[in-house]
Amino acid sequence: MVEDVTRTVRTPCLCHALRKASRAVSRLYDDELRTVGLRTTQFSLLAYLHRTGEVRQGDLGELMSLEETTVTRNVRPLVSGGWVSVRVGIDRREKWVTITEAGIAKLKEALPAWVRAQRKMKAVLPEQVWQNLLAVLPDVAQAAVQG
């Protein structure tokens, strides 16, 4: 019976593999970003908002595979920092999110830290693996949403 469980579970769990790698890599990026007082999630949000311009809060979640309710909360520290501003839409149910000038400055300030982290990871992974991951991971996220 015990052996039964063991045998089945021996197949590696994709979810666990992803989460474990996520934790380890996040710590490395956070180590660098800490020097400018940002976390990787916050950096990603700023970078994303900078690219897209003003976005509806719900769409932000969809595009980052984040629950709406999580977006609400993730945006909060950014608003507190003055890096992001939120306004009510014409449709007053909607919230529209924008990066502020201060946010753009912060993003610029954080860029070298992010580059260092990115370089570190690139340096310790075979080029093939690096390229492959960047190509494949978005599809994995997509597939899981469909799933």
Q: Which residues bind a copy of itself (CB under 8 A)?
A: 1-2, 4-6, 8-9, 11-29, 40-41, 44, 47, 50-51, 64-66, 104, 107-108, 111, 114-115, 117-118, 120-125, 129-130, 132-134, 136-147
Q: Which of the choices a copy of itself, DNA, none does residue 37 contact, using the CB cut-off of 5 to 8 A by kind? A: none
Structure token digits, residue 116:
């260092």
H-type helices in the chain, by residue range? 2-9, 14-33, 40-52, 57-64, 68-80, 101-124, 127-146
Interacting partner of 116 out of a copy of itself, DNA, none (Cβ under 5 to 8 A depending on kind): none
Q: Which is nearer to a copy of itself, 83 or 114 (CB)?
A: 114
Instruction: Report which DSSP code applies to 92.
Output: T
Distance of alpha carbon 39 from alpha carbon 145, whole angstroms: 25
